Amino acid sequence: MSTGAENPSSHPNRRQFVQAAAGAAGLAGLASAETLFAQPGPGAGRRGRGLIQPGATVLFQGDSITDAGRKRDLTTEPNSQPAMGDGYAWLAAAQMLVDRPDAELKFYNRGISGNKVYQLAERWQEDCLDLKPDVLSILIGVNDYWHKHNGNYDGMVEVYETDFSALVKRTKEALPDVKLVICEPFVLKVGAVDDTWFPDFAGYPAAARRVADAAGAVFVPFQSMFDEAAKIAPPEFWLRDGVHPTSAGATLMAHQWMRSARGFGRRAGGRSPS
């Protein structure tokens, strides 16, 4: 996950990185403790308490971008860095645990490298429904295109959208109170991603947005975020092979995830509006 330290001139310095993060998330708005705790977010209830409430179980699901090298033998342990992996899911969870150590939150990661939507569905009972998450975040789609592009899968974007919609419907029927966060699949043109990916890949982020809108879910615009980030720093600074995030990319994703789902209740001692 090197960001090319051997050629410093091709990458931002500290000041440029801060500008890149601020600009790219202003695409999204970089999340801070104040925006997380002091404002109701997209999933807020009538009392404005936010998406993630004290005592909540939060589950991250997806493919290798979510998996991020997590330790499978520790998968049942909540709030464990080895069990959560090294990616955006852990970075977002760690920030929220630090910001609200009193909230008794439980974070889990069940992403599996290489998964497509239908493979999520095959393991959904054990790896999602049985956990009964209060908040469920799903990032899926790049393999649905990548494996088709490589000739190893014949599903079209219509299959992706239909399967994703069916998975969301199944989830809401089993867990009617679950709060959904659907993340936009993304790529940048570097490494494994070349001109042959376009314009076909663009159908997948668009389909994910339609699924989110139909479900009334929080939508996390990762593709839009990285498109803007690539205007400030080269694509390989954010995504090492066009698909998998570098440390900088994962950090930006965590900030964007928290920003999009920023309703995180009130600070201890704060009052919700009546």
Tokens of 30: 């970089």
Residues 56-65 have a mean pLDDT of 98
- Within 10 angstroms of residue 175's Cβ, the number of other Cβ atoms is 17
Structure confidence at residue 42 as a pLDDT band (50, 70, 90): very low
**Residue 264: its pLDDT value, please?**
53
Residues 71-83 have a mean pLDDT of 95
Mean pLDDT in residue range 186-193: 97
The mean pLDDT value for 128-136 works out to 98
Closest CA to 164 of 188, 138, 189, 186: 138
Helix 222-229, helix 14-26: angle, nearest 10 = 140
Name the architecture of domain 53-221: 3-Layer(aba) Sandwich (3.40)
**pLDDT, tens digit (0-9, with 9 covering 90-100), for 139-167:** 999 999 999 999 999 999 999 999 999 99
> What is the band of 12 on the pLDDT scale with cuts at 50, 70, 90?
low
- Measured between alpha carbons, how far is 202 from 223 in angstroms, rounded to an integer? 9
Compute how many other C-beta atoms are within 10 angstroms of the C-beta atom of residue 57.
17
pLDDT in tens, 238-265: 999 999 999 999 999 999 999 998 855 4
- Per residue in 110-126, pLDDT (tens digit) is 999 999 999 999 999 99
Asked whether the beta carbons of 272 and 47 are under 8 A apart, the reply is yes
Q: Domain boundaries in the chain?
A: 53-221
Q: Has residue 28 got a pLDDT over 90? A: no
Please compute the mean of the pLDDT values over residues 56-74 and round it to a whole number: 97
pTM score of the predicted model: 0.82
Mean pLDDT, residues 222-247 taken together: 97
Rounded distance between C-alpha atoms, residue 185 and residue 222, angstroms: 7
Count CB neighbours of 39 within 10 A: 14
CA atoms within 13 A on the CB side of 137: 34
Q: What is the pLDDT of residue 158?
A: 97
- pLDDT (tens digit, 9 = 90+) per residue, 199-209? 999 999 999 99
Q: What does pLDDT average to over the chain?
A: 84
Confidence of residue 49 (pLDDT cuts 50, 70, 90): low
pLDDT at residue 9 is higher than 90: no
**Order of strands across the sheet with 135-139?**
106-109, 57-62, 135-139, 179-183, 218-220
pLDDT of 27 above 80: no
In the predicted structure, residue 91 carries a pLDDT above the cut 90: yes
Q: What is the pLDDT of residue 261?
A: 84
What is the residue whose two structure tokens read 């992403």? Answer: 111
Whether residue 6 is predicted with pLDDT greater than 70 in this model: the reply is: no
Percent residues over pLDDT 90 in the chain: 76
Give yes or no for residue 194 having a pLDDT over 50: yes
In angstroms, the CA 259 to CA 34 distance is 11
Length of the chain: 274
